[in-house]
Chain A
C-alpha cells in the first residue's frame, strides 16, 4: 500500500483498509521485537523529534524505542527544556524545529488542535501523540492492534469504555477506530464525566457499570485525573472507586473471554481493581508491547511515504 498521508492527526483520516494495513505491518514489527537483535536499518539517516510539551512516560519511550529500533535518530524535547517555557510561541518553536529539517515531529501538547496547528505549518510529517482532550490516534491504533491479535474480527464485538470520557483523547480516538472497524461501543461514566453531546456519538451510554459490562467482549478503563474532584465533577474519590471503578463483580455478565484494557498510567484501586489489572484477562502489558510495534509501523509508513500528494 502506498502511504500518502503526510500527517497523522486523528483516526478519521484513515480508512478501514489503511488501519488493516497498519495492523498487518505492526504484526511483522512485533515479530522483529521478539528477536535477540531488534534493530533494523529501515529508517537509517532519518531524524525524528519527540516534542512532548506535556508529561509522558510510556508514549514517549514507546516512540523513542520505535524510532531507534528502525535506526532513526530520535531527539527529545520537553516543555521544561524548551523555549516554550521561556514564552516562545508554539509556532516559533515549530519553525525553529523545522529549520533543523527533521523528517517527522511527534507531538504531545495540552491544547486540542496543537498537532493540526503544527501540521499546517511544517513540511515534515507530524504525528499526534495526544493533543488536549481531542485525539490520541496512535493509542487507538495500538488498542485496536492489541484486540486484533486476540479477535478474528471486530464485527459483532462489543467494547465498553469506562471512565472519564469527557476529558479523554483516548476515548475519542478509540470510539472512532472501533466503530470504523465494526465493533459496537458503549461508554459508562457519571454524567459529569461525559461530554455534553454524547448522544450524538455512535455509542450506547450507561451509568451503571454492571449493566454496561453485560455482554461485552472488552472493557477499556480510562485513567481518572485526580483533579476532577477539585473541579467539582466528582464528590469523592472513594465513592468513585466504589461505584465506577471496574471490579470483578461487574464482569460477571460479560461475554466469556472478556478482555480488560487500560491506556495507562493506572490508578490501581480507583478506576480499576488491582486484581483485574493483573489477571489473565488483562491485555494491559500487551498494549504496551503493541505500542512499540504500532509506532514502528507508523514511523515507517510516514517517513517512507509516497511524495505524491493525496
Chain B
C-alpha cells in the first residue's frame, strides 16, 4: 500500500461512511469507515462531517491590483479558504487591467506570499487591451505568465469581428474565452431586470434579450469556428434554451451561473436594496426555475460566485448609483447547500458543479476522490447554521444580501495537497 501520512477517520462521502487516507499530498484511498490501517499516519477524527472536494471558483474579482480597499489577494484567498475554494479564477478588471504578464505575475506572487500552500489564484487575462474592446491583449504572453483563460468580463466586446479573432487567437494557446454576455445597446444604463418591478420603482431595466442576444452570437461563432466559448453568469430562460439547443447540436459551448440567480428573483430589490444589485440583474421567478432545471441537467455546466466585493460606503447610495456585485466566496457553499436541503441538488451535484466540471473546462487539477488525485478537500458540517455577520465574513466585502442572516452548513476544515489551510 502507498505511503499514508494523514488519516481522516469517520467522514461521509455521498452517503457512505469513510476513512480518507492521504499520502504525499494525494488521495491514497477512500476506505470504509473504521477499516483503514495507517500506524504511521497523523489521525484526525472527521466527526461524521461531510467530505467534499475542494471547490473551484471560475469567476471571482479579487480587486488587487488597484482597489485593495475593496479586497486584496490575501483577504480574497482567506475568504476562499474559509468558503471551501482551493482555486479561484481572478478576472482581469483590476487597475491596471491584467493584460500584461507583469500584472499576472504580481497576482501570482501576492497569492503565494499570503497562502504558500493555497488556495491558488488562477488569473484570467484580459481579452482586449485595457478591456477597451479595441485590440487583442497578448494572449500568448498572458498564457506563459500563468493565465488560465481570457475574458473581458465586466465589459462586453461590442466588435463581433474582434471577438471572433480573440476566440481564434486564444485557441492556439488552449485558452478558453469567457464571455460577459450583454448586448452593448439593449438595456444600456439599466440597473435591474426590465419588467413590472422596474416599472413600478422607476428604474431603468435590462431586458433578458440583452443577455440572450449575445449568447446567440457567441453560440453562432462557436459553431462556425468550431471553437469553444464559455458563457459567464447566465441569468435567464432565453439563454438557457439557446444553450440547450446548441449543446444538442454539439456546439462547444459551456456556461456558468451563480447561486444568487438560483435562489433569488427580482422581487428581492424590494425598496431599492443595493445589496442585490448585480449584473446581470436578478430576473423573474420563471428564470430562477429555468436555471435550476438547467443546473440539474447539465445545460449550465458549472457554478461560480462572481465574487464582487465592494466597500460598505459604495453600496450605501441610491440604487442607480450603486456598483454591481455581491460578495460571494464566504457564503457560496451555504447558499448551494440550501438547494440541497430543498431537494433541488445533492452533494454529487455540488462536486460536479463546483469542482469536477470546472476542472474539465479550464484544465485544472481536481480531487475526484480517486487514488492519485490531489488531496484537496473540505470537511463540511451540514447541520451547523451560522450567521453571516460582518465579523464572520472573511472577505473585505460585506456586500451580501445574506448579511446578518442565518445560512445553513459550514466549512469546518479545508485541506490542500494534504495540508490544512483553514479550520474553525
Contacts and interface: CB of A to CB of B under 8 A. Distances in A.
Nearest to B195: A197
A134 B197 CA distance: 11
A172 B200 contact: yes
Most chain A beta-carbon contacts within 10 A, residue among B195, B201, B318: B318
A151 interface: no
B364 interface: no
A15 B423 CA distance: 55
Contact of A116 (B203, B272, B321): B272
Nearest to A114: B318
Contacts of B200: 172
Given A196-B199, A197-B199, A132 B317 contact: no
B323 to A, nearest CB: 13
Interface in B312-358: 313, 316-321
Interface in A122-139: 131-135
B198 A117 contact: no
Contacts, number: 66
Interface in B127-151: none
A169 B318 contact: no
Contacts of B202: 112-113, 131-135, 169, 172
B35 interface: no
Contact of B319 (A111, A195, A201): A111
Contact of B199 (A114, A117, A198): A198
Residue of A91, A112, A169 most packed against chain B (CB within 10 A): A112
A191 B313 CA distance: 38
A161 B239 CA distance: 36
A90 interface: yes
Given A89-B313, A196-B194, A196-B205, A113 B319 contact: yes
B13 to A, nearest CB: 47
Interface string B182-199: 000000000000111011
A89 B317 CA distance: 7
B259 interface: no
Contacts of B321: 90, 111
Interface string B257-282: 00000000000000110000000000
B195 A117 contact: no
Chain A, interface size category, equals 20 to 34
B198 A132 contact: no
Chain B: interface residue count, which band? 20 to 34
B271 A116 contact: yes
A96 interface: no
A200 interface: yes
Residue among A89, A111, A133, A198 with the highest chain B CB neighbour number at 10 A? A111
Interface in A36-65: none
A91 B207 CA distance: 30
A112 B318 contact: yes
Interface string A103-116: 00000010111101
A67 B198 CA distance: 34
Given A132-B202, A133-B202, A134-B201, A197 B196 contact: yes
B316 A200 contact: no
Nearest to B271: A116
Given A172-B202, A196-B207, A111 B318 contact: yes
Nearest to B205: A196
Nearest to B273: A113
Given A134-B202, A169-B202, A196-B195, A90 B317 contact: yes
B317 A112 contact: no
B199 A112 contact: no
17 contacts: A90-B318, A91-B316, A91-B317, A111-B319, A112-B202, A112-B319, A113-B203, A113-B272, A113-B318, A113-B320, A116-B272, A134-B201, A134-B203, A172-B202, A198-B199, A200-B199, A201-B199
Interface of B: 194-196, 198-205, 207, 271-272, 313, 316-321
Given A90-B318, A113-B201, A172-B200, 11 more contacts: A89-B316, A91-B317, A113-B202, A116-B271, A116-B272, A117-B318, A132-B203, A197-B195, A197-B196, A198-B199, A200-B199
